Amino acid sequence: MKFDVLVEIRLRPGIADPQGATIERALPALGFAGVSQVGVGKAIRFTLDAPDEAEARAQVEELCRRFLANPVIEDSEMSLSVGAAP
């Protein structure tokens, strides 16, 4: 089965996010009031061929743990859906 996978990487709570802070500081000057809690992360999309959803999730989790995220400073979250037929 083909799965469409989206992995979102975000900084862990307590880890400084200077990019998010800088964006937040810039917003009032552009007329956007009321925006807070800006966080900058990464989104990584790919397709994965796996026998079933449980196996696909296990593989993506392993991939995140070993490579896509650095667990010292980052958390990851996956969204997974059955891909469109080729």
Partner 1 sequence: MSVRVGVVVFPGSNCERDAAKVMTSLGAQAEMLWHADASVQDCDAVVVPGGFAHGDYLRPGAIARFSPVMSAVAAFADAGGPVVGICNGFQVLTEAGLLPGALQKNRGLKFLCTTVEVRVESPRSVLTSRVAPGTILHIPVNHFEGNYTCAPSTLRELQSDERIILRYVDNPNGSIDDIAGICSPGRNVVGLMPHPERASDPLLGSADGVALLSSLLDAAGGPAKPHGPWAQDRDREMPARLSTAAGTPSSRQAS
65 lines the binding site for partner 1 (CB under 8 A): no
Q: Which residues make Cβ contacts (< 8 Å) with residue 5, sequence separation at least 6?
A: 45, 46, 47, 48, 56, 60, 78, 79, 80
| Rounded distance between C-alpha atoms, residue 39 and residue 22, angstroms | 10
Using CB under 8 A as the criterion, what x/- string covers residues 18-47 for binding partner 1?
xx-xx-------------------------
> Given the rule CB under 8 A, which of 30-38, 57-65, 66-74, 75-83 is the region that contacts partner 1?
66-74
- Give me the residues paired with residue 28 across strands: none
For partner 1, the binding residues (CB under 8 A) are 11, 15-16, 18-19, 21-22, 67-68, 70, 72-73
